[in-house]
Structure 1
Amino acid sequence: MRRIEQGYSLLTTLLVVTVFFLLGLTIIAVSLQHARFATVRVDDVQSLHKAKTEVNEAVADLKAELSDPNFFTSHHIFSPNEWDHFLGLDSSNPGDKTMAGRLLERYGVMVKDESDQYQIDKQQVFLRVLRLEKSFDDGHRTRTVARRVFVTNTPSFLKYALGSNRAVVLNGGVYIEKGDVYAGETGYASNATTYVSRTNELKIENYDSGMPRFSDSSVWYLNGAFQACGQKKSCWTADETQARFQMTNQWESSWPGGTTEPPPSFQPSNEDFVDVDFELTVADKLLQAAGFSPSSPEYIAEVEAVQEAADKTEALHQLANKLKDRFNELNGNDPLEIIKQKKDKPLYVNGGINLIGDVDIQTDKGVNQWLIVNGPLKLNGPQNNFINIHGNFIVFGDLRITGKVRLDASVYVTGKTEIYQSRIERADKGVVLLSKGKLDLARINEFDNPRGEANLKGYFYTDSSATIYAVGSYLSIDGGLFARGNGDPAPDTDIYGLVVNAFRGRVEGSNGEPSGFVPNPNVASSRLVVRYRPEVLVEQGTGLPFVNRLSLVVDRLEVR
């Protein structure tokens, strides 16, 4: 029995040793496999990081090259064709003296022209849409890092969701879903909301309207101080004698404690701000509408005359009168019917005009034609159905938009602009509206509840100051708002710059006034939502304002 038991013991021992040996081999194999996977994973991450870095460096290189204020003359670029040759877009094998060739040689980054996808007239404008991309191997397949870049000679205000060269005041629960905010001077934020009643009484709402909310990728660029107030009704006082809201002494230099909204990311702006020259831009649009090439002696002489005039607005009036023989002049009792018949050339009205109904100033090729109004313009939509506005406008006077409208236009206004008691729906291309005078947006889509989709598409700019009310109103904007801050203070305030009032939550109406305020901390309940959209830079084409400098608008980095 002992010999048999000894045999079993030997077998058991050998079996246990074998099992442990196999377990050891398995552990070693697994460890080696994990080490190999870890090495591959590190290599993948490093390859991805390297590709991202090289694409970003290529973007920075392109940006530095275009930052020269005398870029066009330094490189002898006077036409869009010469511009494409400099970029290297006119060849499938760009040389090393072109930007595309240089970026490929330095960083291995390919430059692809996507301008045709946006129907850009490359013979008429310098705007280009480029895709900078770099491929890398992640160990399993080849992937691509890419950034879309808009190269444009448009002013800096078109780069921001909200902004001003002076102060930016964000009262209440505005939500910056995408894009950045720019304040050339002081930035202000509060959980207060102010509005003006139909009887012109100044109102300060008691409810907590929410603090402004920014997306994780959004930045508030500040060149001055920051002030905030979390005291609701104590942030502002209403001075009825002067008909304006004024700040109290409750503002402090830090984000209010006890608020559910986190403070935004603040950074100083390190870029030169490229301003729009309103009068020269309008002169350019008038002359190009009349058929003058920017390189012609006539064009240069007329632009210089406007630039040197003591009263530039009057000089623009005189230029419009001088050019009217090149336009189809409207007269008669039915201007809309005449507009339908005479769109082969720009249209001209000597005096104010009130347009009720659809306004279609597109050519047979679907390109927006110009309507020059030598006086104030009113666009009045009816209450029972929406009107569609297609075209480009130059207005020598004030502009007022009311009723139900869909805007697909570029609009230049030498006076003030008011959009009031309107119901606005998103149009295909949207609107780019520039006003020399004050901008006032109020009572738009009143008492609609937030529904997560844009009802207005475009950019709104004033050379002066602006006040936006989204208390009873509901505005969801794909685009942006900017007030340069010259001239008069913002409507109903003593602030020079942009003033925004927005409630976050549900609001009911009673006798045409906001009531039944129900605050909601969810950003989806904000009654003013702004999403920056660089696509507007290409969709309005020749109607966009321009400057004699190039800049980049860079979209988000993609990994595919």
Structure 2
Amino acid sequence: MRLRLHEQGYSLITTLLVVTVFLLLGLTIVTAAVQHAQFTTIRVDDVQSLHEAKTYVNEAVSELKAELSEPNFFVNHRIFVPDQWDQFLGIDSPSPGENTIAGRLHDRYGVVMKDESAQYNIPKNQVFLRALRLSKTFTDGHQTRTVQRLVFVTNTPSFLKYALGSNRDVVLNGGIYVEKGNVYAGQQAYASNTTNYVKKNGELTVAMPNAGMPSLSSSSIWYTSDGRLNACGQTSNCWEAAQDRFHMTNNWASLWPTDVLEPAPTIRQENEDFIDVDFDLTVADKLLQASGISPLSSQTRDAYIEQVEAIQEAADKDAELHRLVEELSNQWTSLPINQNIPLEKAIKESPKTKPLYLNGNSVLTGDIDISNNGVNQWLIINGDLRLDGPTNPNTFVSVRGNFIVLGNVMLTGNLRLDASIYATGYTKIYQNKIERAANDKGLVLLSKGPLDISRINEFDNPTIPTPNLKGYFYTDSSATIYAVGSYLYIEGGLFAKGNGTTAPDTDINGLVVNAFRGQVNGDNGEPSRFAPGNNPLSSRLIVRYRPEVLVEQGTGLPFVNRISLVVDRLEVE
């Protein structure tokens, strides 16, 4: 009996121990579940905080882009000097006001905008380019982290991003080679194996379809409005000549032809906003600054703004530019129009401390040096300009200086150019041999009217291709380039905005390029004995992208009245 009582006592103790163990296990499970729920809640809060911070930073970037992308931005906000730009952004103070961009982004999104331009060696007192870092902090557990994006804000014109391009259509006929840089077509893009040219008597000629397809380097890209490229290959008739115009046939397709040797290029859709040049404001800006009327000076700033606004608001901008020239001309050195005094002599003997002015059409045939202490001065011509070099293959005329031409421009003969030329009319570069200047600078040419380039360095067949023309060419209108008998190796770029006027000899609005790949000889001044080549460097038109040519001229960038943003990837630290 006593033994049974002891056994019952042990059973009771065992039962109590088991119950206690299960109770402790249950409490542990409940505690773990509560802690896990709390941890999950914390992690959800952390993830939500991270997502919220990312959303606010991205919304701040979008608002910044929206506020800065309006047309005529600088003039509308009366921002003409870098200091005013910093005040508008709110990066000139550690505590930006609510009327600044930085203040509004902080009030609406809690996003801090910090100026990091100095880290990128940006000369803030000279340019409007800024490096801005937008950031927002959030809590991650027991630590504070940051979501951030770096944004470059700039008024650089978009055409400087491309080796070749147009806001409208781009047509590349034949074996042009883009050695470096990209091609941009704001509307339709075309590439063919046929090249066209015009004989001296004006006859339109469609060459045999073996000129080569356009070729781009492995790092170069076609950017088009829809990510497509229309092509016409070896066995098709791509063009016909009728009524003094080259017209496309119906043999084009949105597929790269299979009967050509060249591989299909990389094609992408361009999604960035395109920032245009305002040509009339650019000319006005150059006229004013050449006359010492600058937005950087407090004494002349109001006068500068008044004149720029007058050009912007004028219904007839050409007439307004002529009015501005007439108003400013008394501040310049007038050159005599005298048959007995060559213009080259008058230019040479005139002081270059202020701009030179010629009221009338002009033909310059000798060496021209419009510089003062090594800095190019301006020659302003109220009429047409013809730079006419010699035709002897071994004799060149050197031209150095800056030109504003309220009329048409014609370049012909053998020229060495260190110049910037702004022309309000059309520009024709014809039957030239053009070389870079002795100081290794080149030509910046901006034309409001159509641009026509043909018969340049004709029938040259170099064994070692080297750049022979350093320059950047821009037209507000359309352009046609011929490199069939010509030979051009451009170190720079070429862009045609395409403002409604068709390219010379075509019904295309935009840029039209004709180039043969291989050697060409001439008979009686016309191309003959075509010898096609497979090497891209045997192309008779090579373009090596180099936008710095504009800056080297010292004229600054063309006037751009809008802002664009280049946004880096989002980072979490």
TM range (shorter): 0.7 to 0.9
Equivalent pair of 2:273/2:564 in contact (CA under 8 Å): no
TM-score (norm 2): 0.73
2:270 aligned partner? 269
Label 1:81 to 1:212 Cα distance change in 2 as closer, same or farther (>3 A): same
Label 1:404 to 1:96 Cα distance change in 2 as closer, same or farther (>3 A): farther
**Secondary structure, aligned partner of 1:421:** strand
Query: 1:352-363, aligned counterparts within 5 Å?
Result: 352-363=361-372
| Residue 448 (str. 1) matches residue 456 (str. 2) | no
Label 1:435 to 1:78 Cα distance change in 2 as closer, same or farther (>3 A): closer
1:287 aligned partner? 288
Equivalent pair of 2:480/2:503 in contact (CA under 8 Å): yes
| Residue 315 (str. 1) matches residue 315 (str. 2) | no
Structure with max Cα Rg: 2
CA distance in 1, matches of 2:67, 2:229: 29
CA distance in 1, matches of 2:204, 2:410: 22
Across the aligned residues of Structure 1 and Structure 2, the Cα RMSD in angstroms comes to: 3.6
173, 176, 183: which one pairs with 1:174? 176
- Deviation at 1:551? 4.6
Label 1:106 to 1:347 Cα distance change in 2 as closer, same or farther (>3 A): closer
Segment of structure 1 superposing worse, 501-510 or 286-295: 286-295
| Paired positions, count | 466
Q: Which runs of 5+ in 2 are unaligned?
A: 1-56, 103-111, 134-150, 568-573
- Deviation at 1:228? 0.7
| Residue 412 (str. 1) matches residue 414 (str. 2) | no
TM-score (norm 1): 0.75
Deviations 1:136-165 (A, max 9, x none): xxxxxxxxxxxxx99853321121111111
359, 372, 380: which one pairs with 2:388? 380
CA distance in 2, matches of 1:74, 1:327: 30
**Secondary structure, aligned partner of 2:277:** coil
| Residue 235 (str. 1) matches residue 238 (str. 2) | yes
Query: 1:455-494, aligned counterparts within 5 Å?
Result: 455-494=468-507
| Residue 69 (str. 1) matches residue 82 (str. 2) | no
Equivalent pair of 1:480/1:531 in contact (CA under 8 Å): yes
CA distance in 2, matches of 1:89, 1:536: 31
- Deviation at 1:276? 0.9
Equivalent pair of 1:208/1:232 in contact (CA under 8 Å): no
205, 208, 219: which one pairs with 1:206? 208
Equivalent pair of 2:472/2:547 in contact (CA under 8 Å): no
Query: 1:52-451, aligned counterparts within 5 Å?
Result: 68-69=68-69, 78-80=80-82, 112=119, 125-126=126-127, 153-224=155-226, 225-231=228-234, 234-239=237-242, 242-294=243-295, 296-331=301-336, 332=338, 333-340=341-348, 341-364=350-373, 366-384=374-392, 385-427=395-437, 428-450=440-462, 451=464
- Deviation at 1:506? 0.5
**Secondary structure, aligned partner of 2:522:** strand
Label 1:290 to 1:206 Cα distance change in 2 as closer, same or farther (>3 A): same
- Deviation at 1:128? 6.4
Equivalent pair of 2:169/2:186 in contact (CA under 8 Å): yes
Deviations 1:435-466 (A, max 9, x none): 11110000000011143211111211111111
**Secondary structure, aligned partner of 2:491:** strand
CA distance in 1, matches of 2:80, 2:320: 27
CA distance in 1, matches of 2:88, 2:467: 38
1:529 aligned partner? 542
Equivalent pair of 1:278/1:436 in contact (CA under 8 Å): yes
Equivalent pair of 1:392/1:543 in contact (CA under 8 Å): no
Equivalent pair of 1:89/1:113 in contact (CA under 8 Å): no
Equivalent pair of 2:69/2:564 in contact (CA under 8 Å): no
Label 1:197 to 1:553 Cα distance change in 2 as closer, same or farther (>3 A): farther
- Deviation at 1:489? 0.7
What amino acid does structure 1 have at the position aligned with 2:229? F
**Secondary structure, aligned partner of 2:283:** helix
CA distance in 1, matches of 2:209, 2:536: 16
What amino acid does structure 2 have at the position aligned with 1:408? D
Identity percentage of aligned residues: 60
CA distance in 2, matches of 1:345, 1:326: 8
CA distance in 1, matches of 2:240, 2:524: 25
Deviations 1:491-537 (A, max 9, x none): 11111110000000000111111001000111010111111113224
- Deviation at 1:403? 0.7
Equivalent pair of 2:231/2:253 in contact (CA under 8 Å): yes
- Deviation at 1:545? 0.8
Q: Which runs of 5+ in 1 are unaligned?
A: 1-56, 100-104, 117-121, 133-148, 555-560
Deviations 1:354-401 (A, max 9, x none): 01112111111x222111100000001112311222111111111000
Label 1:157 to 1:553 Cα distance change in 2 as closer, same or farther (>3 A): farther
Label 1:335 to 1:115 Cα distance change in 2 as closer, same or farther (>3 A): farther
Segment of structure 1 superposing worse, 169-178 or 479-488: 479-488
Equivalent pair of 1:193/1:232 in contact (CA under 8 Å): no
- Deviation at 1:426? 2.1
Label 1:83 to 1:309 Cα distance change in 2 as closer, same or farther (>3 A): closer
Label 1:421 to 1:265 Cα distance change in 2 as closer, same or farther (>3 A): same
- Deviation at 1:542? 2.8
Label 1:472 to 1:315 Cα distance change in 2 as closer, same or farther (>3 A): same
CA distance in 2, matches of 1:376, 1:175: 34
What amino acid does structure 1 have at the position aligned with 2:253? E
**Secondary structure, aligned partner of 1:454:** coil
Label 1:398 to 1:233 Cα distance change in 2 as closer, same or farther (>3 A): farther
